[in-house]
């Protein structure tokens, strides 16, 4: 029997859970823990997770039960479960399913137990939408409030299940091809099939809106296309940038029966509205002036859409949430690799797009060889002697930048390049100055936002062909969909603790590799500065996915230490 002190978890009364990675069962515990908690901090071997109403409701929506969860926590905790934590979990999960929306006789109705409905009457923000109290205890609501009410109820701590249904939308003839235009066999992988089924549960009105989470390179576009084929209705696809718009169109033409004339691009000079239309979020948020309405809002109603796909739903901008609140009767599908938002809009994704319906862990995809195995390492280097003095007296703000641009990182890059010579390698950084200096020093081409599209294509082409094995890239690496895959990525600097950014960059390495299917990710941070702290925050998403960062002490440090001992 395992001793209590060997258990990996410590559960606090405020629903913060500490996971001791040093314990034997830590790996198993983490796999379960991430199903109902978010990673928030990491200090050495102790990782901090937080259970929130949202994480519990997402878990509840995929069938997790309060008693089962409590029992699991109790049996994996070093100390007795605090009563407060236990009752809080019970209460929060208990609220899931207590309220639901339906449509009867064209009326939007809110249902719930008398006790919950009574609690709601205290909230003006809720009762202002009520048109009439019906005899059976349900409330007749203003149908235009479907979205904002769900948002408000979620905010107040009352999740509501939306069974109010969807309008069908214009029919669309669309089937998947068994062979692509390039004459390759095409069929859905198992997990792609289950993701689609999860989204579209036939015969229920509950399914049909929600978020699917799949790692980079696992074929999110394919899943979206399969969902379209399943529904067979006119579809509006929203995505993050123009390149991605084009990619969606290419994939649709390649893998479905759709003709060129049926797929429209809405953006730039093209303003085509066709049975399948693809647009960027950016164009939706455009308006002539601040006081005027959004210019392209009409796109939502210009056609009778049966489905709206939100690609990269973690990037969805605030105004699009507001628009989405008004079209809750249209089926919605959110797609992403990293359902984390640094801006606190996670609740809005939950209430306006829908609950998380499918989440393929990166490590699971790796085990099935659908994506490459990535060895992650964090290399800490001391501040370079030339800037150390400057660092000490710099303001907090410039300290960050000095640490990030630490010239001592150059040597590490050179060593890593030697170590992986010949492998396609991306060096990714945040500051153009730093990147220009490095590019000059190494004699390697640099790709920034300033490089014209045509030249980018040439460089991508040479990189793909293997003529060029190293490429330095700026922040374009985060979103340029057409940037080729690599086997090695070296991160020089990145923005403030962005988990998304870290994941996107690692995503560059995930296409399966010939041979042992191995890729490497290195992140270089300056030791004993704020940068190490940000670095740890950046790693949180990957830790949730079961990745481990090896901590390497740079050879430079070793040398310095040896010198110190010698003297």
Positions that interact with DNA (CB under 7 A) = 241-243, 267-268, 280, 282-283, 285-287, 290, 295, 317-319, 342, 397, 401, 430-433, 448-450, 474-476, 479-480, 495-498
Q: Which helix (H) or strand (E) holds 453?
A: helix 453-465
Quick one: 39 or 69, whose CB is closer to DNA? Answer: 39
Residue 387 C-beta: closest distance to DNA, Å: 17
Burial of 354 (0-12, 13-18, 19+ CB in 10 A): buried
In this complex, which beta carbon is closest to DNA, that of residue 498 or of residue 523? 498
Tokens of residue 170, six digits = 């214009």
CB within 8 A of 271, min separation 6: which ones?
A: none
- Sign of the CA dihedral running 335, 338, 343, 344: positive
Q: Which is nearer to DNA, 206 or 532 (CB)?
A: 532
Please give the Cα distance from 480 to 482 (Å, whole number). 5
Of residues 9 and 483, the one with the C-beta less far from DNA = 483
CA distance 523 to 340: 20
Could you tell me the two tokens for 395? 């303001």
Phi-psi region of 75 (alpha: psi -120 to 50; beta: other; left: phi over 0): alpha
Tell me how far, at minimum, the Cβ of 325 lies from DNA, in Å: 17
Shortest distance in whole angstroms from residue 454 CB to DNA: 9
- Residue 58's φ and ψ, nearest 5 degrees, are -65, -40
- Minimum Å distance from CB 542 to DNA? 19
Cα Rg, the chain, nearest whole Å: 25
The closest alpha carbon to 251, from 484, 481, 505, belongs to 481
Q: Judged by CB, which is closer to DNA: 112, or 429?
A: 429
Chain centre distance of CA 14: 26
Give the shortest CB-87-to-DNA separation in angstroms. Answer: 33
Judged by beta carbon, residue 26 or residue 427, the one nearer DNA is: 427
Give me the DSSP letters along 445-512.
Answer: -EE-TTS-HHHHHHHHHHHHHTS--EEEE-THHHH-TTSPP-SEEEE---STT-HHHHHHHHHTT-S-
Q: Which is nearer to DNA, 212 or 483 (CB)?
A: 483
- Residue 534 Cβ vs DNA, minimum distance, rounded to whole Å: 8
Instruction: Tell me how far apart the alpha carbons of residues 473 and 483 are, in angstroms, rounded to a whole number.
Output: 10
Least separation in angstroms between residue 537's CB and DNA is 9
Least Cβ distance, residue 433 to DNA (angstroms): 6
Question: Minimal distance in Å, beta carbon 453 to DNA?
Answer: 9
Over the range 411-441, which residues count as b (16 or more CB within 10 Å of their CB) and which as e? ebbeebbeebeebbbbbbbbeeebbeebbee
> Min. distance of Cβ 503 from DNA in angstroms?
15
Instruction: Report the residue number, 330 or 430, with the smaller CB distance to DNA.
Output: 430
Beta-carbon contacts of 183 under 8 Å, excluding residues fewer than 6 positions away, are none
Is the separation of the CB atoms in 76 and 84 below 8 Å?
Answer: no
Task: Map tokens 């094995």 to a residue.
Answer: 469
* CB closer to DNA out of 3 and 288: 288
DSSP state of 6: G
Nearer to DNA, 270 or 388 (CB): 270
């Amino acid at each position: 029997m395992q001793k209590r002190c060997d258990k990996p978890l410590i559960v606090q009364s405020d629903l913060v859970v500490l996971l001791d990675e040093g314990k034997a069962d830590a790996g198993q515990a983490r796999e379960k823990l991430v199903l109902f908690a978010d990673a928030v901090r990491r200090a050495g071997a102790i990782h901090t997770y937080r259970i929130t109403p949202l994480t519990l409701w997402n878990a509840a929506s995929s069938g997790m039960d309060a008693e089962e969860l409590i029992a699991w926590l109790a049996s994996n905790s070093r100390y007795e479960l605090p009563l407060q934590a236990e009752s809080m979990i019970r209460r929060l999960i208990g609220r899931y399913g207590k309220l639901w929306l339906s449509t009867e006789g064209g009326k939007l109705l809110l249902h719930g137990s008398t006790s919950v409905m009574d609690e709601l009457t205290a909230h003006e923000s809720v009762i202002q939408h009520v048109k009439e109290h019906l005899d059976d205890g349900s409330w007749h609501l203003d149908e235009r409030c479907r979205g904002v009410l769900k948002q408000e109820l979620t905010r107040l701590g009352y999740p509501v299940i939306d069974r109010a249904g969807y309008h069908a939308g214009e029919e669309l003839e669309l089937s998947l091809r068994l062979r692509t235009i390039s004459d390759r066999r095409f069929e859905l992988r198992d997990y792609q099939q289950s993701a689609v089924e999860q989204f579209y549960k036939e015969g229920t009105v509950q399914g049909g809106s929600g978020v699917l989470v799949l790692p980079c390179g696992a074929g999110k576009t394919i899943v979206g296309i399969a969902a379209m084929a399943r529904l067979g209705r006119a579809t509006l696809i929203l995505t993050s940038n123009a390149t991605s718009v084009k990619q969606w169109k290419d994939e649709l033409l390649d893998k479905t029966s759709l003709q060129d004339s049926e797929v429209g691009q809405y953006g730039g000079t093209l303003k085509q509205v066709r049975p399948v239309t693809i647009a960027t979020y950016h164009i939706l948020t455009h308006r002539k002036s601040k006081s005027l309405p959004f210019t392209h809002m009409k796109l939502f109603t210009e056609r009778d859409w049966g489905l709206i796909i939100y690609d990269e739903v973690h990037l969805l901008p605030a105004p699009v949430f507001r628009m989405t609140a008004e079209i809750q009767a249209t089926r919605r599908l959110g797609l992403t690799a990293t359902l984390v938002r640094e801006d606190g809009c996670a609740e809005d994704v939950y209430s306006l797009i829908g609950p998380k319906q499918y989440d393929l862990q990166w490590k699971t995809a790796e085990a099935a060889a659908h994506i490459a195995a990535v060895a992650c390492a964090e290399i800490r280097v001391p501040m370079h002697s030339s800037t150390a003095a400057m660092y000490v007296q710099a303001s907090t703000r410039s300290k960050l930048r000095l640490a990030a641009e630490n010239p001592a990182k150059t040597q590490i890059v050179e060593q890593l390049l030697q170590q992986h010579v010949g492998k396609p390698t991306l060096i990714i950084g945040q500051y153009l100055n730093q990147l220009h200096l490095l590019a000059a020093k190494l004699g390697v081409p640099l790709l920034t936002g300033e490089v014209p599209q045509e030249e980018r294509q040439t460089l991508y082409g040479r990189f793909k062909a293997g003529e060029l094995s190293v490429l330095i890239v700026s922040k374009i690496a985060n979103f340029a969909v057409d940037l080729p895959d690599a086997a090695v990525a070296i991160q020089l600097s990145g923005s403030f603790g962005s988990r998304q950014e870290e994941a996107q960059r690692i995503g560059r390495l995930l296409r399966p590799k010939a041979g042992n299917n191995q890729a490497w990710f290195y992140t270089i941070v300056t030791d004993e500065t704020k940068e190490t702290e940000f670095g740890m925050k950046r790693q949180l998403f990957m830790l949730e996915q079961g990745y481990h960062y090896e901590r390497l002490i740079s050879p430079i440090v070793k040398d310095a230490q040896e010198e110190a001992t010698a003297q």
